[in-house]
Chains A and B, each alone.
Chain A
Amino acid sequence: MQNILNYKLQIIAIVFTIAFMYFIFRLIVKGKLREEYSFVWIICAALLLLFSIWRNGLDVIASLLGIYYAPSLIFIGALFAIIIFLVHLSVVNSKQHKQIKELTQEMALLKEKLEVKEDQK
């Protein structure tokens, strides 16, 4: 009974991971997610899939790293990934901020030029 339950969980995990991957691919195909941002999500989904199939993987890696309680590896890994991704988003945000500022200025200057030209006519 215990065995079947465990398999059930594994199947659910695999199905969810594949659904997640499909969702990401759909977003890319539709053009709603740029490839450079999808990268991290594809890696995430691949890792999830890997560990849903390779059930002992987590324990193996945890013991290799000397972590006694294997699930804490998940938390550490996930936290680390989230922090890196947030920093990445801040960088993207700053870049866009700069670009918007420059576009706004350029547009304002062009509009002013146009108005001066129209006044002269």
Chain B
Amino acid sequence: MSKVKVAIIIPCFNEQDSVLNLYNEIKSIQYSSDFLVEPIFINDCSTDATKTILFQNNIHHINLPVNLGIGGAVQTGFKYAFKNNFDIAVQMDGDGQHPPSELEKILLPIVNNNADVVIGSRYISKEGFQSSWLRRVGINYFKWLNKQLVGVIVNDSTSGYRAINRKALEIVSTYYPDEYPEPETIILYALSNLNIQEVPVVMRERQGGVSSIRAYKTVYYMFKVTLGTIFLYIRLKFNAKHSKL
């Protein structure tokens, strides 16, 4: 069996404290199956030493000349992975919340052909870092919204720790939401008839930097994601034949 090429896409914006640790951690893992794992850091125009650290340590990275935000940065990685014939792309936060030691858990369902999209969820087994109550309220709301629209139940729809296969890669390299893409893409995957699976994953508290979702932004977040989700649903459901997304 030939090796499965896995791209780990790590968007980072001002993550100077965590990128090197994260890189070393990914490199030090022993995989049971034949994975060829390549971490790719997407530097989203960081204003701190992130770029220098990536360059000096000879870490494979892509520098965005203009700050695109999380969605645009992750999509750059997806485009890279798709063009360079990777079999699986994993999305991992640059702040160290997503432990690389859990990587195999989210890769295996795809390798075994059980799923097209695997979401690492911290709410299935309730282990590790569980985040704030406000975020949990939001997550329950998105769980409800997704269930109503596409009938898919995802417990941790805001989780950015995901693995996708080439079928899903093709879709997200043509369309990916700019801001807060995670809950929205569940609709995108579900309506593209992809098989979504959630696996329990233990997450850590962030090691450095600031979360992209602050308390005062929560209302905006909920509103934006609801709008995005509903419009994406309408677009895919009713314009499917002549829409390019």
Q: What residues of chain A have their CB less than 8 Å away from a CB belonging to chain B?
A: 100-101, 104-105, 107-109, 111-112
Shortest CB-to-CB span from B55 to chain A, Å, is: 10
Q: Is the beta-carbon distance between B83 and A101 smaller than 8 angstroms?
A: no
Is B124 in contact with chain A by the CB < 8 A criterion? no
Q: What residues of chain B have their CB less than 8 Å away from a CB belonging to chain A?
A: 42, 61-66, 68, 72, 75-76, 79-80, 83, 178
Other-chain contact of B72, A101, A109, A111, A112 (Cβ < 8 Å): A101
Q: Is the beta-carbon distance between B72 and A105 smaller than 8 angstroms?
A: yes
Given contacts A101-B68, A101-B178, contact A109 B63 (CB under 8 A): no
Shortest CB-to-CB span from B7 to chain A, Å, is: 13
Q: Which of B72, B75, B83 has the most CB of A within 10 A?
A: B72
Shortest CB-to-CB span from A105 to chain B, Å, is: 5
CA distance A100 to B67 in the complex (A): 11
Give every chain B residue within 8 A of A111 (Cβ-Cβ).
62-63, 65
Q: Is the beta-carbon distance between A109 and B79 smaller than 8 angstroms?
A: yes
Shortest CB-to-CB span from B218 to chain A, Å, is: 24
Shortest CB-to-CB span from B118 to chain A, Å, is: 24
Other-chain contact of B62, A100, A101, A108 (Cβ < 8 Å): A108
Q: Which of A104, A105, A107, A109 has the most CB of B within 10 A?
A: A105
CA distance A111 to B45 in the complex (A): 14
Given contacts A111-B63, A112-B62, contact A105 B79 (CB under 8 A): yes
CA distance A37 to B80 in the complex (A): 36
Q: Is the beta-carbon distance between A107 and B79 smaller than 8 angstroms?
A: no
Q: Is the beta-carbon distance between A109 and B76 smaller than 8 angstroms?
A: yes
Other-chain contact of B68, A105, A109, A112 (Cβ < 8 Å): A105
> What are 5 inter-chain pairs, A to B, with CB distance below 8 A?
A104-B65, A104-B68, A105-B68, A108-B64, A112-B62
Shortest CB-to-CB span from B221 to chain A, Å, is: 19
